[in-house]
Chains A and B, each alone.
Chain A
């Protein structure tokens, strides 16, 4: 690496950058070319580029230049019961950059009952102040009513959020009922958003947790025992059913088990618009560590859905990622110190959940999938960057090396070897769940917003330089198909004459209404909620009067209790003939 005419215009060089002799790798092809960047954008790609003098030049020496990674799932600086995860936006995004990730998408988690917009503003404030790379935000919908619905609309139309996560787990806390899911999916399909689901059956988990604790199992192994992978698969299946009913694109966060991944790939074969996101942890390690005799180690693996105790899971998920059945990768980076994890030292249900992975993600996938020949470098770019950009509707600004795209680039050294350890990682966590793992492949140079942030193993990240990137609704990648299906999905009634035959008397069933369903009001319903089994439909007076076996006072002719035959004026039509 050398400066051309370094002494003349040293200040401008930081914004102008030339990469010479790199092999550009996009998700569709690889080719040799030079890249010239200016003001954070890629200006020219080709051979023998004409560039201004005084440009810093990097010699790639034939190494691969790939679009910077996009970590589509992080939880930096996440508040948790009065504490905060140990990696804030500065520490977290530094770790990201160190691993070759130049953009992160964090989850905004409003407390149930709190305003989504306020929570969004908080997160944005925190990130603007500290993030060292560009970022976007998903917003989690933790409760559902009319005002939430309006806030979601505002977030989509004015704030640049196009993806919202709902929880099928965390009973009595974040968990949504099937009806609420249906309504949220329907609404987001209308607004052009992406529905993300945390897929686990919270009701069964609550039962299983109680059972485990009753049996005296209080350690981290109880976490995975109470959340078997079947419960993850069940929820994925249910989410897909609802998404298919509502014609809404679905995104399953944290695919942790074979069973869940299988359900996603089957659904894709049936034509469902569904995307699956395995995370660094599920691609790189397994759940056998929950049985570690070292409590702190076992607790550091606690995340939900849990890592599968089946040690063949990572290989299986890497294969599905390579075949395109799973599409995007995140890290779900959410780190707690051992002291924080120890909140649950006597009760595994109290252990704060989350694992590290933002720094290790790119290298780990390279090592597990590219080195082993499961995928080529183009597919690698697709699953670490391009597909995420497409889903977020940021493509081709992000996720591609092309003229006009952001200059977020990584020069990838496929020969680099390093051993993951908490001693050297950039996260603030004391424990790294990949401790001791040797990974082939890693970033040599990382360029973020046109600036070199990693070079010769040194990070030069600047806190607060990260920009919020608004994501617009209706990403083509998901919605082209959804729109086409919508046009086809018109349902028509059968044109029939009026039924004019005999009608039996009946008393509407009055079931003691269960308070469960009405406890939360659903915004898409006109209040009061109409109970279809308690319809006001009645053939004789009001249903209540019917039940008391008496016609209303002003309803003069007394009707017999049994069947009654109505002969309409003009005689009967043949609509009731049985043929």
Chain B
């Protein structure tokens, strides 16, 4: 289906020049038929009867759909967990992504305890630069909160092209931040123009439930989902929406796994909250009934957080919300551990390393569940698999759109391909695929990354280390136009009043037993010179030196008649 024009003359240059003829170009707004000419990894021309140099490799699309390469907004390749490493590294992971039609991934930097955000970021960059086969970017997870973190976030945004940070409401005593800390992180993020991502589950309740479930003698993977009911996910989504509203900070919920959580997001959007929801391949394609599998290895392969919902109607529901725009972006949450690694938790589900596969299956699965079923058209498909992600994370229109000047990351899509997913044939290193046996319609025929053909006739031609780090600027328009307008409106003013000069009751400042909880972690958003002010223990007191100390006081109420008589500020009426 592809042939070289004047192949013998200039074979070397051809790899950087590419012509696709007769394609139906699909963007998120429209579809149209045209030819595309690419050079040096960029789209140079779009139109008919293009004038292109000789010796250009030409692909004849035969009217098939050509769409922007997928962007997987959530991967965790090569992720360290307690001395182990996720089975798919950046090489294996990005190969799997490309095989599925995804040409860019955004991975999560998870700082190890004690490590700085910057050093972790550098570590991840090093791993990805040496191994990644497609372009990538990085989210940074904020796993603790103090003054230094705030400065590092600023540096990451200004000097390193990071514009999204994830906070955890779960993983008590490890990653979890308190509501006050989340408030401060969100305030910082808003000031710096980034996106606040949230892993939404109530970690306090989960810790209690885990203990209860273990004490009932339930140690298998079913305990994972029993201890993390979907209500706990919805609660945390609701809480983060509240905090985001308070701080006027754009919010992005990673891994929307349940109907209840999706409903909370949809409701918040109807009320005007700037919030985005990211269902993942797993929640769109399968459910949590497998946690009860008698095969421990199989059950454990589904362990991820928030867990897959045991309600089998969940995937369909989430696909519907994705189609109507209530959920906007899709990731894979791809984080694979092999069975031996999972078996670390063979006697205690709370120790099972978490994560599922999905980077390779994401595009086909959404096509099968949403486009084939008529829930969405191909334009909306492009929006949820690529364009919206590019807009939210400020990569648009370089990524997420087929236009002159955009990166030549393209997928020639065949809606008629049928494929049965199996661990035997997938490109991930993991032994188990959670979609095993699922037949999906639609898949990539040709995948072009950085202007080079990386998938053709079912064969991958990837180059380890060819992926580039794509920096992202803060204040993405798609998100921040509204935020900025609201900031301007949100100015608060006090009521101008005269000074209250009526009687003031005396008060005994009762020393309250201070709980150390709040002061244990210092919060950087506060001015460092001011000690954290306890609002219930204000320094306000009438018992110190006062101007009227010479006047003897009664113990209870005292009436002060100011010179010049009273203002009418205290009149009751």
A-side residues, CB < 8 A to B, are 81-83, 111-113, 170-173, 177-179, 182-183, 186, 201, 203-204, 206-210, 212, 215-219, 221-222, 225, 228, 230-231, 233-234, 237-238, 241-242, 244-245, 291-298, 337-340, 342-343, 345-347, 349-350, 422, 430-431, 435, 491-499, 501-517, 519-520, 525, 530-535, 537, 539, 563, 565, 575-579
Contact = CB atoms under 8 A, between A and B. Distances in A.
B263 to A, nearest CB: 10
Main SS of the interface on chain A? Answer: loop
Contacts of B299: 494
A238 B239 contact: yes
Given A530-B211, A532-B350, A173 B296 contact: no
B503 interface: yes
A430 B205 CA distance: 45
A494 B536 contact: no
Interface of B: 81-84, 113-114, 171-174, 178-180, 183-184, 202, 204-205, 207-211, 213-214, 216-220, 222-223, 226, 229, 231-232, 234-235, 238-239, 242-243, 245-246, 292-299, 338-341, 343-344, 346-348, 350-351, 423, 431-432, 492-500, 502-510, 512-518, 520-521, 526, 533-536, 538, 540, 556-559, 569-573
A499 B521 CA distance: 41
Contacts of A513: 173
Contacts of B520: 514-516, 519
B294 A206 contact: no
B521 A516 contact: yes
Given A171-B518, A296-B572, A501 B297 contact: yes
B235 A241 contact: yes
A435 B171 CA distance: 51
B432 A295 contact: no
Contact of B508 (A81, A182, A534): A81
A502 B235 contact: no
Contact of A183 (B208, B238, B505): B208
A178 B217 contact: no
24 contacts: A172-B515, A182-B208, A203-B178, A203-B179, A219-B495, A222-B494, A230-B242, A242-B205, A339-B505, A345-B499, A430-B572, A496-B294, A496-B296, A503-B343, A506-B82, A508-B82, A515-B516, A515-B517, A516-B517, A516-B521, A517-B172, A535-B351, A577-B295, A578-B295
Contact of A537 (B113, B340, B347): B347
B82 A579 contact: no
B294 A83 contact: no
B448 to A, nearest CB: 34
A345 B498 CA distance: 11
B500 A345 contact: yes
Residue of B216, B493, B572 contacting most chain A CB atoms (<10 Å)? B572
Given A183-B208, A342-B505, A506-B84, A511 B113 contact: yes
A17 B385 CA distance: 78
Given A204-B243, A207-B180, A494-B220, A504 B510 contact: no
A201 B344 CA distance: 38
B502 A346 contact: no
Residue of A491, A498, A513 contacting most chain B CB atoms (<10 Å)? A491
Given A230-B246, A294-B573, A504-B340, 10 more contacts: A221-B495, A222-B494, A295-B500, A296-B500, A342-B504, A494-B299, A510-B113, A513-B173, A532-B172, A575-B296
A182 B208 CA distance: 8
Given A245-B205, A296-B571, A345 B504 contact: yes
Nearest to B237: A237
A579 B299 CA distance: 11
Contact of A431 (B178, B226, B534, B572): B572
Contacts of A512: 113-114
A215 B171 CA distance: 35
A492 B219 CA distance: 10
Contacts of B506: 82-83
B569 A493 contact: no
B271 to A, nearest CB: 9
Given A113-B513, A535-B350, A537-B351, A225 B204 contact: no
B467 to A, nearest CB: 27
A183 B299 CA distance: 30
Contacts of A431: 572
A-B interface, 4 closest residue pairs, ranked by CB to CB distance from nearest: A82-B508, A178-B204, A203-B179, A339-B503
B231 A533 contact: no
B340 A244 contact: no
Nearest to A506: B82
Contacts of A172: 512, 514-515, 517-518, 534, 536
Contacts of B498: 295
Given A339-B557, A511-B173, A291 B495 contact: yes
A144 to B, nearest CB: 12
Contact of B222 (A83, A231, A494): A494
Contacts of A177: 204, 517
B517 A81 contact: no
A491 B338 CA distance: 28
Given A171-B518, A337-B505, A519-B515, A207 B184 contact: yes
Nearest to B344: A506
Contact of B495 (A293, A517, A539): A293
A392 to B, nearest CB: 28
A297 B242 CA distance: 30
A578 B504 contact: no
Nearest to A531: B173
A491 B173 contact: no
Nearest to A525: B211
Contacts of A579: 295, 298
A230 to B, nearest CB: 5
Given A503-B343, A533-B173, A535-B351, A514 B521 contact: yes
Contacts of B82: 506-509
B339 A501 contact: yes
Contact of A535 (B183, B348, B509): B348
A111 B494 CA distance: 33
Contacts of B499: 345
Contacts of A492: 218
A182 B205 contact: yes
B432 A578 contact: yes
Nearest to B515: A172
B242 A234 contact: yes
Contact of A237 (B235, B341, B343, B508): B235
B416 to A, nearest CB: 29
